[in-house]
């Protein structure tokens, strides 16, 4: 029999599902600031998996992923416990902005939090102690910042074997290996024993159905890998590249102000010397061509076409020879996961 899941103010018995609004702070009026939490405690014992989204308040794709897992999936065969936190940063979500509105604090640099420090760290501490730290595994969903879009990819500390196991199980084509910035949920959670990865997909302010569907497959695959669902299988993405510090990757930046026209889509391969995009002035008389410095994959592209000199345009990562061949092969097949 599975154990009860307890949090500050309540408990959820095995076989029960609880939808709660959990107080993390107070407004200027003294009213509670509450975040939605769904706890699904399986009848049978197993690992505890935490799904989090909207630590940045305008990043919406993850919200739909977490809601769908919590409220549309059948949990009768679940082994273990699912903790679903679809909107971590409620004040930012209400304002539709990335940061906590008070002093523009980044909630995703405030973990593990501190109950006697700033408002951001107090919120982080309430979330972390009650719902993150008690878990074995964490999946934290993000999108690119406003005006940009990311190919679906995973970020995690691949030098930590238990984090690498989660990252591999999510079955994305691209994994960026890094432990993450200090104060980020995935780094602090992983250090506290909750092996956590970040999943990046798409852009802010949108629900992007194909990306959401791919990420949901990743969640199922992680649940299969760790035995939360015995009926599902662990997926293989067809090809995979793990980008670490030694691999070639770069941000292509604008050398001119103007309007950007992209010549390739998010997730596509560009050859060294290819025209990735052009920047033009209002008269289309000045044309600045941005070329790929090496052959690689466009994992981040602009959605907003307006740039100043120095603005980032595209995030380009190199693929090694075998990966390049596997990628090209996948492109000739009808289904891919970009
Ligand atoms: Zn984010």
Confidence of residue 321 (pLDDT cuts 50, 70, 90): confident
* DSSP helix/strand/coil, 125: helix
Using the mean position of ligand 1's atoms as its centre, give its distance from the Cα of residue 61 in Å. 11
CA angle 299, 300, 305 (to 5 degrees): 145
Q: What is the pLDDT of residues 201-214, one digit of tens each?
A: 999 999 999 999 99
Distance 174 CA to ligand 1 centre (A): 17
| Residues around ligand 1, an ion, CB closer than 5 A | 56, 59, 142
User: Rounded to whole angstroms, how far apart are CA atoms 119 and 100?
Assistant: 9
**CA-based nearest residue to 88, from 73, 103, 110:** 110
Average pLDDT over residues 8-24: 97
CA distances from residue 46 to 2, 3, 19, 273 in whole angstroms, order as listed: 7, 9, 21, 51
Buried b (16+ CB within 10 A) or exposed e, 145-154: bbebbbbbbb
Q: Tell me how far apart the alpha carbons of residues 177 and 188 are, in angstroms, rounded to a whole number.
A: 16
pLDDT at residue 22 tops 70: yes
Least confident range from 179-188, 216-225, 241-250: namely 241-250
3 Cα to the center of ligand 1, angstroms? 33
Question: Residues for the chain: how many in total?
Answer: 338
Burial zone of 17 (CB within 10 Å; 0-12 exposed, 13-18 middle, 19+ buried): middle
Helices (H), the chain: 61-72, 90-95, 119-127, 161-169, 185-191, 209-225, 321-331
Share of the chain above pLDDT 70, in %: 98
CB 60 within 8 A of CB 52: no
Q: Quote the pLDDT of residue 209.
A: 97
Please state, for a pLDDT cut of 90, what percent of the chain lies above it. Answer: 89
pLDDT digits (tens, 9 = 90+) for 75-117: 999 999 999 999 999 999 999 999 999 778 999 999 999 999 9
Closest by Cα among 143, 137, 126, 123 to 170: 137
Q: Which residue is listed with tokens 């730290």? A: 133
333: pLDDT confidence band, cut at 50, 70 and 90?
A: low
Report how far ligand 1's centroid is from the alpha carbon of 141 (Å). Answer: 7
Q: Tell me how far apart the alpha carbons of residues 272 and 296 are, in angstroms, rounded to a whole number.
A: 8
Give the pLDDT confidence of 299-317 residue by residue, as tens digits.
999 999 999 999 999 999 9
CA distance 153 to 165: 15
d(CA 257, CA 149) in angstroms, rounded, equals: 20
pLDDT at 2: 80
Both tokens of 316, joined, read: 């380009």
Distance (angstroms) between ligand 1 centre and the Cα of 147 equals 13
Instruction: In whole angstroms, give the CA distance from residue 32 to residue 89.
Output: 14
Query: Is pLDDT above 50 for 338?
Result: no
Contacts of 277 (CB under 8 A, 6+ apart): 260, 261, 262, 263, 264, 290, 313, 314
CA distances from residue 80 to 32, 136, 318 in whole angstroms, order as listed:
31, 10, 39
**247 band by pLDDT with thresholds 50, 70 and 90:** confident
| Selection from 276, 279, 266, 270 nearest residue 305 by Cα | 279
Say whether pLDDT at 337 is over 60.
no
Which helix (H) or strand (E) is 51 found in, with range?
A: strand 44-53
Query: How far does residue 46's CA lie from ligand 1's centre (Å)?
Result: 29
């Amino acid at each position: 029999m599975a154990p009860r899941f307890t949090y500050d103010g309540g408990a959820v018995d095995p076989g029960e599902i609880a939808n709660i609004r959990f107080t993390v702070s107070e407004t200027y009026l003294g009213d509670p600031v509450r975040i939605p939490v769904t706890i699904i405690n399986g009848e049978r014992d197993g690992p505890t998996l935490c799904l989090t989204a909207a630590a940045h308040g305008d990043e919406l794709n993850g919200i739909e992923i977490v809601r769908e897992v919590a409220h549309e999936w059948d949990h009768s065969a679940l082994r273990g416990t699912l903790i679903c936190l679809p909107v971590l940063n409620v004040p930012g979500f209400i304002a539709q902005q990335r940061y906590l509105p008070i002093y523009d604090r980044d909630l995703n640099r405030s973990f593990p939090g501190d109950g006697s420090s700033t408002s951001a760290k107090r919120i982080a501490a309430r979330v972390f102690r009650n719902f993150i730290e008690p878990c074995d595994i964490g999946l934290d969903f993000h999108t690119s910042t406003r005006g940009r879009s990311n190919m679906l990819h995973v970020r995690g500390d691949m030098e930590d074997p238990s984090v690498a196991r989660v990252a591999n199980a999510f079955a994305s084509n691209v994994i960026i290996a890094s432990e993450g910035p200090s104060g980020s949920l995935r780094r602090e959670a992983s250090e506290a024993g909750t092996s956590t990865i970040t999943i990046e997909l798409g852009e802010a302010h949108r629900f992007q159905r194909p990306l959401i569907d791919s990420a949901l497959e990743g969640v199922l695959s992680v649940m299969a890998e760790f035995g939360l669902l015995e009926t599902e299988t662990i997926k293989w993405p067809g090809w995979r590249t793990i980008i670490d510090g030694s691999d070639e990757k770069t941000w292509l930046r604008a050398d001119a102000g103007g309007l950007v026209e992209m010549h390739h889509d998010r997730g596509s391969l560009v050859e060294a010397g290819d025209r990735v995009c052009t920047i033009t002035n209002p008269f289309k008389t000045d044309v600045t061509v941005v070329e790929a410095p090496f052959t690689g994959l466009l994992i981040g592209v602009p959605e907003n076409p307006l740039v100043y000199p120095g603005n980032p345009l595209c995030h380009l990562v190199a693929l090694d020879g075998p990966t390049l061949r596997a990628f090209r092969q996948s492109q000739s097949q009808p289904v891919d996961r970009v």
